[in-house]
Amino acid sequence: MKRLLAIVTAAAAVSAVAAAPASAGHAWGSYHWATASNPFIVGLDNNLTTLGWQQLGKSSSMDWSASVVLDAVLTDPKGDNKRCKASGGRVEVCNGKYGRNGWLGLAQIWLSGSHITEATAKMNDTYLASSSYNDVNRQHVLCQEVGHTFGLGHQDESGADLNTCMDYAKTLDNPIPDAHDYEQLELIYNHGGESSTLATTSASTTTGMAGRPDARPYRAERNDHANHTEIVEQFADGSKRITDVIWADGPRPVVDRG
Ligand SMILES: [Zn+2]
Ligand SMILES: [Zn+2]
């Protein structure tokens, strides 16, 4: 059964996000995977359903793996997981016709403290599979959603074209990360020595209420920005789920979190 998150009034949603500087300063909050050492492996589960998406997924995993701190390893195709059910310690990468709900892509991270415990990246074929979009546009979205699952935010949210997939260029014409993104990853993952929340081979058991499908958040807050929306859901045990939405042009209805 699908659950819809009611819109929290924009008035209540005060943005605390400052304008991003041109140099690397675009971490997504303080969110990161707990890691023992660098470089670490992030397992990307390949739920991509078409050859086209699989090629884009492969390209993006290689692009992100150019980072000195991480290797993003895309699995062989796993078949359809349109719901994109999260699995502990891993990133699920999915595409599907998610409907005319207004969003092109969604990134979700589950958190214990500031540590990411699982993540998903979804691309909405209802829009992206149409002839209004090409592979460069599709890869821009995929690259950004996967980038979020590592703890990266946007370099810019104004719509300016910064030649990175972590921007909001209206033209969606930046399929790859840039040097600032790699630099930011190094800044985020400069500590190590932690008990890793990553699962490099198969899924680990997720700790935290946020990872349980039946759990309800006690608090949900929606922050609308110029080109994207962030939703923060808090659970009674302190765990959280955070969703970042990249919008297609047009109205912004409620977000299907299902
Ligand atoms: Zn840490
Ligand atoms: Zn985004």
Going from the Cα of 109 to the center of ligand 2, the distance in angstroms, rounded, reads 12
Going from the Cα of 251 to the center of ligand 2, the distance in angstroms, rounded, reads 17
Going from the Cα of 197 to the center of ligand 1, the distance in angstroms, rounded, reads 9
Closest CA relative to residue 185, chosen from 105, 20, 65 = 65
Q: Which domains does the chain have, with CATH numbers?
A: 23-247 (3.40.390)
Please state the rounded mean pLDDT for residues 241-249.
91
How many of the other CB atoms lie within 10 Å of CB of 2?
A: 8
Ligand number, closest to the Cα atom of 116: 1
Confidence of residue 141 (pLDDT cuts 50, 70, 90): very high
Confidence of residue 79 (pLDDT cuts 50, 70, 90): confident
pLDDT for the residue numbered 113: 93
Confidence of residue 204 (pLDDT cuts 50, 70, 90): confident
Angle (CA) 180-152-140 rounded to 5° is: 80
Closest CA relative to residue 75, chosen from 98, 58, 88 = 58
Model confidence at 42: pLDDT above 50 = yes
Going from the Cα of 111 to the center of ligand 1, the distance in angstroms, rounded, reads 11
Ligand number, closest to the Cα atom of 152: 2
pLDDT for the residue numbered 125: 97
pLDDT for the residue numbered 65: 98
Q: Cα separation of 49 and 162, whole Å? A: 30
Q: Cα separation of 167 and 144, whole Å? A: 8
Please state the rounded mean pLDDT for residues 105-109.
96
Please state the rounded mean pLDDT for residues 107-119.
96
Going from the Cα of 50 to the center of ligand 1, the distance in angstroms, rounded, reads 35
The percentage of residues in the chain with a pLDDT greater than 70, rounded to a whole number, is 87
Tokens of 178: 């840039």
pLDDT for the residue numbered 81: 82
Model confidence at 114: pLDDT above 90 = yes
Highest mean pLDDT: which range of 94-98, 165-169, 196-200, 203-207: 94-98
Going from the Cα of 169 to the center of ligand 2, the distance in angstroms, rounded, reads 11
96 pairs with which residues across the strands? 124
Going from the Cα of 113 to the center of ligand 1, the distance in angstroms, rounded, reads 9
Confidence of residue 209 (pLDDT cuts 50, 70, 90): confident
pLDDT for the residue numbered 9: 31
How high does pLDDT run on average in the chain? 86
Model confidence at 122: pLDDT above 70 = yes
Model confidence at 222: pLDDT above 60 = yes
Neighbour-count burial of 120, counting CB atoms closer than 10 A to its CB (0-12 exposed, 13-18 middle, 19+ buried): buried
Report CA-CA distances (Å) from 105 to 33, 108, 123, 137, 142.
21, 10, 5, 11, 8
H helix intervals, the chain:
51-65, 125-128, 135-148, 179-188
> How large is the C-alpha radius of gyration of the chain?
17
Going from the Cα of 225 to the center of ligand 2, the distance in angstroms, rounded, reads 11
Please state the rounded mean pLDDT for residues 216-231.
90
Q: Which residues contact 189 (CB under 8 A, 6 or more apart)?
A: 32, 33, 35, 38, 40, 69, 70
pLDDT for the residue numbered 207: 66
Q: Cα separation of 246 and 104, whole Å? A: 6
Report CA-CA distances (Å) from 154 to 26, 29, 102, 233, 256.
6, 11, 20, 20, 22
32 pairs with which residues across the strands? 115
The percentage of residues in the chain with a pLDDT greater than 90, rounded to a whole number, is 70
Q: Beta strands 115-124 and 219-224: pairing type?
A: unpaired
Angle (CA) 231-13-104 rounded to 5° is: 40
Ligand number, closest to the Cα atom of 242: 2
Going from the Cα of 207 to the center of ligand 2, the distance in angstroms, rounded, reads 25
The position carrying tokens 């006690």 is 218
Going from the Cα of 192 to the center of ligand 1, the distance in angstroms, rounded, reads 7
